[in-house]
A and B are shown apart, each in its own frame.
Chain A
Amino acid sequence: MPSTQDAQLLKGVLSLLLLRLVAERESYGYELVQRLRGIGLSGITDGTVYPALARLEREGRVATRLAESRSGPARKYYRPTGDGYRALTEGADGWLRLAGVVTPVLSPPVPDEPAPPAEEG
């Protein structure tokens, strides 16, 4: 399971990931959970993903259609709308810009002790 902090970080970017996944391939709810686990988010819970999909649907960023299933009730498949594609493009750009700023700061090994203040150095 991810830590609480990881879960909060994930919630911030989950909508973006879902839009990206359904842009690659129309999928239904449980399939998206599996695909998220497949990319490494092994601790993600189903209960986190479904409300996020509901939110995207309410915001008009995904369209849905029902399709018969051979193993159970009809499944609801998601795909991005025009707004969804725009949100994905803008969100991805924003995320990559942020990551570009944050990654160089966080990547180097953490020093054992902080350096003295600049005026004393």
Chain B
Amino acid sequence: MNRAHDMRLPLDDRLRIERTLWTLDSHLDDLPFRIKRARRREMRATLYAAAADVGTAEAVRRLGDLTTLAADYLAAEYGDRGPRPSYTMGAVWLITVHVVAGLVTEAGTAAFTAGVLAAEPRATGDFRWSGVPWFIDEATITLRGGEETAAVGGAWAPLVYLISVAALVVGGRLWRLLPWWRRRHAAAPHG
């Protein structure tokens, strides 16, 4: 983007164009990032050219309904098969849930141990942490002279695994594999 040249349009016109691009962008989340960025750049250049010709308001109006435009872009990219699942995004969300659950487990046991040691710096024995209801099972931390020697328990509850599966499905949009969804998308009108 050549920002020096953008100064030829008044600020409110540039803001209007950016708002239009942002709105269109928000409907193009199904496009791969590289393609989405290319479309945005092209549309920006096009809107600037049109705005210089017929004014910004008319340039934006001539795009028509942005939802329809975005649907046509998606149809242009994916054809009649419709958008596909994103296994990468599904994996990212799955890993994110596991990392967060792991951090909560570590932080919980560390905080519990720190609390025990704050009360008795040379604590010795087995100490039971009750975990996080519904998420993390109870754990037993063994201390010898204020040093942690073992930790047992603290497993993730089934709800964590359910959330993992939900994150995989929602993040990866796996419902696009379902035959009824593909049929419905294939039946939708394309430009």
Contact = CB atoms under 8 A, between A and B. Distances in A.
Given A11-B191, A46-B50, A73 B39 contact: no
Contacts of B62: 33, 45-47
Interface in B69-88: 69, 72-73, 75-77
Interface in B1-40: 1-2, 5-6, 8-9, 39
Interface in A53-98: 54-55, 58, 68-76
B8 A73 contact: no
A13 interface: no
Given A45-B62, A76-B45, A69 B68 contact: no
Given A68-B2, A69-B5, A70-B5, A48 B191 contact: yes
Interface class of chain A by DSSP: helix
What class of interface size applies to chain A in its complex with B? 20 to 34
B61 to A, nearest CB: 9
B5 A29 contact: no
A68 to B, nearest CB: 7
A54 B35 CA distance: 10
Contact of A54 (B8, B63, B73): B73
Contacts of A76: 41-42, 45
A51 interface: yes
B73 A51 contact: yes
Nearest to B45: A73
A45 B54 CA distance: 13
Interface of A: 11, 28-31, 33-34, 45-48, 50-52, 54-55, 58, 68-76
21 contacts: A28-B46, A28-B49, A30-B49, A31-B49, A46-B63, A47-B65, A48-B72, A50-B69, A50-B73, A51-B72, A54-B76, A71-B48, A72-B6, A72-B48, A72-B49, A73-B1, A73-B2, A73-B5, A73-B6, A73-B44, A76-B41
